[in-house]
Amino acid sequence: MDSTRTAIVTGGSRGIGRATALRLGRDGYAVVVGYAGNRALAEEVVAEVEAAGGHALAAGGDLADPAVAQHLFDVAEEAFGGADLLVHAAGQMVLAPVAELDLDDLDRTFQVNVRSTFALAQQGVRRLRSGGSMVLFSTSVVGLAFPTYGAYVASKGAVEALTPILAKELRGRDVTVNTVAPGPTATDLFLDGKTDEQVQQLAQQPPLQRLGQPEDIARVVAFLAGPEGHWVNGQTLRANGGLV
């Protein structure tokens, strides 16, 4: 299967990562579905991709361990001949006012959201094939500055700052690097701990008057990863329905 275009999708068992893995499978990619702990959910995604005629497999591991980044690329090469696309959708979010934030939670947030991005990017720089792409993830809250999001926004701001640097460091490789910054999106991560009233209030804020759906974000990733989006490079794209 050396000629197959292959995508590695972290956080591929749930939410935006799941929707992205399914979309890329429909687009003809072989998909490595990365997951942290729930293999059963990842295997459900694999089964759905394969039921639609595609190729996929699940590969697990805690991205706080940099060896997992290498493992995901090893799996892609062994199973599908190489990797063309890295989508780093896995993330950690802890909400607390800065004054009350447990610094151990801060460390864990930076391990998963920042350190893992560097570890995966190192593998991507070395191993993505020509014509490939990296799609990283931030959040529109970087600009919206909601209270209690300090740790999460600080970690995602680091990803945004890294994006154009990575793009420039890949000069001559024909590999693009972009970051998608979703607004409020109906995922388990977003909905957890929010009341129905809070969810409805957030849903009314964008001019389109709804929450984003994981499939909305998957379409953006597919565009950036495909030939139509290959001239977009080093950018952070805020996919949030106009929420500013």
Residues marked as catalytic = 152
Say if residues 130 and 174 touch (Cβ distance below 8 Å). yes
DSSP for 47-77 reads HHHHHTT-EEEEEE--TTSHHHHHHHHHHHH
Q: 24 and 46 in contact (C-beta within 8 Å)?
A: no
Q: Which of 227, 241, 214, 48 is nearest to 33 (CA)?
A: 48
Distances (CA, A) of 201 to 93, 150, 195, 210, 211: 20, 21, 10, 10, 10
Task: Count CB-CB contacts under 10 A for residue 39.
Answer: 15
- DSSP secondary structure string for all residues of 75-107: HHHHHHS-EEEEEE---------GGG--HHHHH
Beta 236-239 vs 128-137: how paired, if at all?
Answer: unpaired
Unique residue bearing structure tokens 């995966």: 120
Where do we find the tokens 């109906």? 186
Reading the block at residue 138, the tokens are: 């931030």
